[in-house]
Amino acid sequence: MEPVFATDSTFELEDTSPAIGRGIDSVLIDATRYYTHETDVSGNQRPDPVDIYVDIGAFESSFARPVLHSAYLGHIGFRDCRIWPDFHKDTLHYLLLVPDTTIVTPQLNVITTDPLAEFDIDHAADITSQDSADRTTTITVTADDGTTTKTYTVLFLYASSDASLSELSSEKCELDPDFHPDTLIYTVCLQSGEPETPGVEYRTNDLFATVEVIPALDINIQSPGSDMRPFRTTFIKVTAANGIDSSIYEVEFILNDACACNVGISESKYVDISMYPNPFSTFLRIDMRNNKPLQKIEILSLDGRIVRIIDHIDTPSITINRENLYPGLYFLRIHADTIYVRKVIVR
């Protein structure tokens, strides 16, 4: 039967119709049923009965394409702004750092993994607000099947200009002078015969600042003069979250038999804690690698509000469940022999 095309009539399938995203063999308009050709415009035979695969326009699909249940995103972004953590389709909650001059809510660039999936964006109400809910954009993705959904959230934060360290130390021997965030140049005195460049340990003042460490090429090059100094110096470049401001800390290693320092330090105060898995969905395990007892753990939201306190632990290990913790980013303030701060994502 030759197809008949209506000129003054339209039809629209219900959103839940099983024909959405599938092949259609006929359409009923104003009590008249119109049928497709037995072949498409290229002469390809159409299946009988109608298949479940997608037909594009007047062409019969040459490849099988069943209805998918994928409600994943393949990309979230805004210009060259940094999203944290790095995007992955299984991670549903993100932070997006924007310049501190941004006032209007950014219109996110969103791409679904399935082109036939649909998404709805509820834009953040006010990114200048102190309330994190006002600064959050919500993206709801609905799969091609019309029922499978996933919800992604993006919390906007202003990118800091802070490019300083809060802590810096050498694996062997102490810095001279004592560390201060505003002091950029240090020396470390080692005894002669040190076989390799000691590592350095650091922590940034701003959580989202990035660090690049360029180790000294050869600390045994001890020739005097400023031209030889870079060979025995480790450089720590800190770039602020805004991508503009930066600082370079320098640690020069001096070899001298008269140096008196503890070169046998085997325990790092920055890696005493093991915390896994992160992100976590149900339970988070925290272990003190030095076997010192945990005293108290405080869980804080991004705005610094304490949402849970676990006190009187007195053991080197603990497992925390996610009870009453909504998906998102939290900070843990861990009290042991000193105070540690770690970040954790709850899915």
262 domain-assigned: no
pLDDT digits (tens, 9 = 90+) for 112-158: 998 889 999 999 999 999 888 899 999 999 998 889 999 999 999 99
82 domain-assigned: yes
Choose the final residue of a domain: 23, 51, 67: 67
pLDDT digits (tens, 9 = 90+) for 261-292: 654 333 444 456 788 887 787 888 888 877 78
Choose the final residue of a domain: 158, 173, 194: 158
CATH code, domain carrying 87: 2.60.40
| Same-domain status, 313 and 338 | yes
Q: What is the pLDDT of residue 268?
A: 44
> Is residue 13 over pLDDT 50?
no
For 187, the token pair is: 């020396």
The full DSSP string for 120-134 is: EEE--S-TT-SSTTT
For residue 117, give its domain range.
73-158
| Same-domain status, 248 and 282 | no
264 domain-assigned: no
CATH code, domain carrying 319: 2.60.40.3080
Give the burial string for 283-298 (b: 16+ CB within 10 Å, else e). Answer: ebebbbeeeeebeebb
| Same-domain status, 189 and 237 | yes
Give which of 121, 159, 155, 108 is closest to 136, Cα–Cα.
155
| Same-domain status, 6 and 24 | yes
188 domain-assigned: yes
Q: What is the pLDDT of residue 252?
A: 93
First-last CA distance in the chain? 55
263 domain-assigned: no
Q: What is the pLDDT of residue 305?
A: 72
337 domain-assigned: yes
| Same-domain status, 110 and 181 | no
pLDDT digits (tens, 9 = 90+) for 41-72: 566 665 554 554 444 345 444 444 566 789 99
This prediction's pTM:
0.57
| Same-domain status, 251 and 174 | yes
260 domain-assigned: no
| Same-domain status, 148 and 170 | no
| Same-domain status, 136 and 179 | no
Share of the chain above pLDDT 90, in %: 25
Tally the domains of the chain: 4
Choose the final residue of a domain: 115, 140, 158: 158
173 domain-assigned: yes
| Same-domain status, 174 and 145 | no
| Same-domain status, 2 and 62 | yes
| Same-domain status, 105 and 138 | yes
CA–CA gap between residue 277 and residue 290 (Å, rounded) = 19
In this structure, are residues 253 and 174 in contact, taking their beta carbons and an 8 Å threshold?
Answer: no
